[in-house]
Amino acid sequence: MKRTPSYVYSASPIDWWQGWIDLSKHELSDFATNDEDDFGINFATEATDFLDHAKRRAADQGWEGDIIQGPFLSAMPDPDNNCSRFVVAWKQYNNGTTWIASELPLPYLR
């Protein structure tokens, strides 16, 4: 299963990131092995690819290409598919716009 951000949102500045993994301070390998899981997914590779794709999508929507905080990684449950889904976010320098990319819709961010 290839993970891609189907939904990218811009939001007003977020300053507190409790519960998120700060990828500017940690390696993904700190949180998961490099082994594939039961579904043949390598966590570190999938998360890195997801973030790269999210940045491209955000750039198409106006992200200016800089990051003052983050990027951050979190997950949300997807009970319909019996798994977790990625969510990534970061804050840009200019005006603090926060970009959030998710595999699942987050309608409250519209």
Domain ranges of the chain: 8-109
pLDDT of residue 11: 95
Q: How far apart are CA 41 and CA 105, in angstroms?
A: 22
Q: What is the pTM of this model?
A: 0.84
**pLDDT digit string, tens, across residues 35-62:** 555 544 677 788 888 999 999 999 999 9
The helix/strand/coil state of 96 is helix
User: String of b and e for 2-18 (b: at least 16 CB within 10 Å)?
Assistant: eeebebbbeeeebeebe
pLDDT of residue 89: 97
Residues of the chain under the 70 pLDDT cut: 1-2, 28-41
